[in-house]
Structure 1
Amino acid sequence: MAAIFILQRFVNKLINLKNINIANWQLHLIVSLICCGILGSITNSFASTSLKTNLLVQEPDTLLPYPWNDRITDQWSNPFDNHPLYMSDPSNIENSIQYDPKNHEYNIYEKIGDRFFRNPSYMTFQEYTQEEFNRSTKNYWKQKSDQENAAKRKGLIPKLYVGGKAFDRIFGGNTVDIRPQGSAELIFGLQIQRNDNPALPERQRRNTNFDFQQKIQMNVIGNIGDKLKLQTNYNTEASFEFENRMKLEYTGYEDEIIQKIEAGNVTLPLTGTLIQGSQSLFGLKTELRFGRLNVTTIFSQQKGQSQNIQVKNGAQTNEFQIQCDEYEVNKHYFLSQYFADNYDNALRNLPVIQSQINITRIEVWVTNRNSTTSNTRNIVAFQDMGEPNPYASGVLVGTGGNLPDSAANNLYMFLRGVGLQNIRDITKVSTSSGLLPFAGPPANFSSPTDYEKLADARLLQSNEYTLNSQLGYISLNRGLNADEILAVAFEYTVGNQIHRVGELTTQGVQPPQALLVKLLKSRNVNTTIPIWDLMMKNVYNIGAYQLSRQDFKLDILYYDDNTGSWVNYIPVGKDEVN
């Protein structure tokens, strides 16, 4: 077959030669005779081979009901059927088109490796250009048709038609088209946890929690007629609130008074420099036109704020204004009244801290809000634990020292007495047998003023708070709620002497027996008792990081009601004293 293809190419070249006077029919006759000779020799060779090998070739007795017809030439001259039953060519068949610059033709080859899979063919330059044009035109119109079909597909909510001239006059049409897009994922779960710990009560060994999570990413575009449009973007995993936007827009025609009405997330851009516009507004905005007069009104709430940043010498300079009552609440606590009373004296000669105390061990207990089962103990916390000057002075007396210690008064001695063995049982602390002789007069111990009992209190890890071992205070990473309890037990040294306040977990008190510790915060706020002074009220959060001492300036201002202005002094005179 390849030889016939070469002869055909040779005949075409002879015909195109002008200096040879041979008729076309003569050339075709000669070539035909040569081809017949070649085919005859090939047939004889196959016949002789068949005789030598005694092979018998027979016609098939039956024909396939659905014959499989393969194309013979290239895919342009003989297109292949696109029916799914006829699979495409395998991947090892390589199709290639090579341009012949001498003959201005395109040679088409289909090979498997170095062998021809189908007969090679060729196309003239004009034929190849026409085929490419036809294929490009077909693909273009197919793409346009697919786009129109996609636009005509109905969404989740079909278009609605509302009849009536009034509806058409108000909204500029009678169709309601709402197209929601996005995804919604809801996850329901039930988590059951059981801990067979004999130290825990039976009702706390099993915890059941219901887990519900949702992930919604929704985009709704709605059109009511030609005038009213609705745009909504909602994402439950958005990093900022302003990313969720909702806007309802009514646009009138050019000759109407109402040009535009916007509700939801609106903007007010202004071109002037005297009054600056805003981009983060939520409210109602209207644009009206009376002839050549345009009126724009807006009623909104500003969702953002503008801030000017000054950078000097590579550092950012900001100004903060904080009221004196905006200190961090329920986060910073002195460990005893001694540290609160000596705080100013210890910081008198900064940067040297004048304190001989060094806290070496501390255990911090809080209310167990997340039902943690590890590192929990029953505790009974007392306000006067370790205080040289106890609040319940009617029955408690100091032992003469001024440093905090469990032996600084007789409370710890009485609690460990023979008559108060029930103090270790958390269920009997509130009874008369648990707090004798403190439950009655003259002490009249009561909760939460003098003590707090807490079952399954959680022991904080060292990375959940910061301890100042010299000044004697702790700073919690998370502020406590108003009804949460805070208690501590710590050990410190002064020179070679070791002092301890409260009971540590290493002192031999085994669970479920309660530990006797120092109370720093009760579940009720009472400003008349001493533990109110243990909460530090001089720590403020300005919302900045990596502050520099250089160019740091602090001004304390006082608002004078008489002058109605801020001054950097406290006016004290004759009128104020009287």
Structure 2
Amino acid sequence: MEGIIHHICRWALIVAVCCVLGCMAGSVFAAEPGDGEGGDGATDSLSLRFPVRPTVAPDYESLAKDEFALDLDTPSNVVTEVEYDPESGCYIVRTKVGDWDIATPFMLTPSQYYDIDMRHSMQRYFNRRNSMTEGRSVKEREPFNVLDMSFASGPLERIFGPGGIQLRTRGTVLISTGIKSTKTDNPALSLTSRRKTYFDFDQKIQATVNASVGDRLKFGMNYNTDATFDFDSKNIKLQYDGTEDDIVKSIEAGNVSMTTGSSLIRGSTALFGIKTQLQFGRLTATALVSQQNSESRSVSTRGGVQTTPFTVNADEYDANRHYFLGHFFRDNYDEFASRLPLVSSGVKITRIEVWITNKSGNYSQSRNIVAFMDLGESKVLASDYWRPDPAISNTSNRSNNLLTVIKDEYPDARNINMVTQALAPLQAFGIEGGREFEKVESARLLQPSEYTLNSTLGYLSLNVALNADEVLGVAYEYTYNGQVFQVGEFSSDITVSDQSLYVKMLKSTTLDPHQPMWHLMMKNVYSLGAYQVEPSNFKLNIKYLSDTTGTPINYLPIARLSHKPLLQVMNLD
């Protein structure tokens, strides 16, 4: 309404100015009869086409007159005051500049004063309503912004309170895309395998979304790909706040926190679940169902050295990292290590090549291999098709006839593309691919820095644990009782790079505890997840979780072993 009035006033002012200019151009001063020279006198006043209310109201009619749109604002130093005279019961209107009256005061009856006050109140009310309507119309004319939206809640306002539905999104999104192509000029690889092209995608997102329905329901979400911890990268919370008289004070869903007033029971701040606060009179109840995403640890130091307790279960061994090179070394491990630190094995491994499935994309030292489980074994064989040599009890290519049969009767197995077809007749004897043997195209040769070899006890420790779908094969040479033995084929034995190597398989893609190869993986090595552990301050305790007491004890509740600690039972003390 006020906006329309402003437009009308603007056009009225333009018309008035044009009329005044036109009158001036046409001798606006009109001659009227009166005293003057020649019997005609010109008036010294200008007749106004649009009336203006006087600044100082001389009477009640001028004060009660409606304000015209062209009127200028009253100067700030001119103040109109109304005083009540209790003797006469009337109201005195004074117009002052400072403490001085600039006009003659006049009196108003109570009815006149109430009428003027009602007029001014109504005028202020409609001006305020017009300003609100104008503000809404301006906002409605603003363009739609998907990052800052606001809607009226309608009937939902009775449930969630006033405020409407609001959604604000802030943040930055940086997406990098590209294509990487690498080419390796390795004659051992086929032309299609020399070039590797893959899609490279990277993103950095820091976004915050805040939404609200009324003044009770709020939703917040933070997403930061550069967060230090994983549970901090995504933070989602939906919160409902009740009123003072509601039973449900608040309901929170998403990332919540739980604080307690006791030092014995500590709360946690990294929780994901549902939390609610209820009040029944003077009783306040807080319920929480969540998943904890953080962990707290206490560290103590003694003499400048950090001491940290570790608890490891017997089945939490370091899997897929430590392997015996053959059953000969596994069966004689206790005997060879019975006089530690002196190892009485008579074994010295002088040469070894370790091959694994190539997943790194590095083909600088790669070869096609075919790994056999029973290669080099004489006593523990998965298939009775291979004939062991009783004269050789230790592991060797001559311990059974596997390598000889494959070379003589299945020559096409050298071609990696024909291994499955060439060795298919062995299925009639229970020898299947993926169990007794594995073919690996472009297997990667590990560097000596990627594993640790115990050359006297005959086991291998990888720096990185293998995945379930990876194959591990070895070829090694060692001396035993003055004789030299070899297991598998070295890359120098087969100089033609496109022909496959026959190696000893220590791990296949099929993990079967019933296979003899399952026992080659060492299950007596545990990782503490620590480094620089001092042997002098290291203490080991072995405990048994008793079903009777429900607590760990350092002995077995058996009649003949209950008096001995488990350390002594296992010869570790």
TM-score normalised by the chain length of structure 2: 0.66
- Choose the corresponding residue for 1:277, options 267, 288, 299: 267
- Choose the corresponding residue for 2:236, options 246, 254, 257: 246
Partner residue of 1:367?
357
Gap change, CA 1:395 and 1:260, over 3 Å in 2: closer
CA distance in 2, matches of 1:395, 1:496: 27
Equivalent pair of 1:390/1:398 in contact (CA under 8 Å): no
Partner residue of 1:175?
164
Unpaired segments ≥5 residues, structure 1: 1-151
Partner residue of 2:204?
215
Cα deviation 1:246-291 (Å, max 9, x = unaligned): 2222333444444332222222222223432222222222233444
Aligned with 1:430: secondary structure?
helix
Partner residue of 2:90?
none
Letter aligned with residue 398 of structure 2: A
Gap change, CA 1:394 and 1:277, over 3 Å in 2: closer
- Choose the corresponding residue for 2:506, options 497, 516, 520: 520
Aligned with 1:204: secondary structure?
coil
Aligned with 1:231: secondary structure?
strand
Cα deviation 1:183-231 (Å, max 9, x = unaligned): 1122333334455655323543443322222211112233333333333
Partner residue of 1:309?
299
Gap change, CA 1:153 and 1:566, over 3 Å in 2: same
Cα deviation 1:468-511 (Å, max 9, x = unaligned): 22221111222222232110001223465432211111224321
Gap change, CA 1:328 and 1:191, over 3 Å in 2: same
Aligned with 2:419: secondary structure?
coil
Q: For 1:522-537, what aligned pairs fall within 5 Å after superposition?
A: 522-537=508-523
CA distance in 2, matches of 1:247, 1:163: 21
Partner residue of 1:568?
554
1:191 to 2:180 alignment: yes
Gap change, CA 1:424 and 1:173, over 3 Å in 2: same
CA distance in 2, matches of 1:346, 1:501: 20
Shift of 1:340: 0.8
Gap change, CA 1:560 and 1:226, over 3 Å in 2: closer
CA distance in 1, matches of 2:512, 2:153: 69
Equivalent pair of 2:376/2:400 in contact (CA under 8 Å): yes
CA distance in 2, matches of 1:446, 1:293: 70
Shift of 1:527: 2.0
Partner residue of 1:555?
541
CA distance in 1, matches of 2:548, 2:260: 40
Cα deviation 1:54-103 (Å, max 9, x = unaligned): xxxxxxxxxxxxxxxxxxxxxxxxxxxxxxxxxxxxxxxxxxxxxxxxxx
Partner residue of 2:491?
505
Gap change, CA 1:448 and 1:571, over 3 Å in 2: farther
CA distance in 2, matches of 1:310, 1:153: 61
TM-score normalised by the chain length of structure 1: 0.65
Partner residue of 1:353?
343
Aligned length: 417
- Choose the corresponding residue for 2:372, options 368, 382, 396: 382
Aligned with 2:433: secondary structure?
coil
Runs of 4+ in 1 over 6 A off after TM superposition: 152-155
Partner residue of 1:481?
467
1:265 to 2:251 alignment: no
Letter aligned with residue 447 of structure 2: Q
CA distance in 1, matches of 2:380, 2:410: 20
Identity over aligned residues, as a percent?
42
Aligned with 2:420: secondary structure?
coil
Gap change, CA 1:153 and 1:316, over 3 Å in 2: farther
CA distance in 2, matches of 1:283, 1:374: 50
Aligned with 1:273: secondary structure?
coil
CA distance in 2, matches of 1:211, 1:283: 35
CA distance in 1, matches of 2:516, 2:280: 71
Unpaired segments ≥5 residues, structure 2: 1-141, 561-573
CA distance in 1, matches of 2:145, 2:435: 66
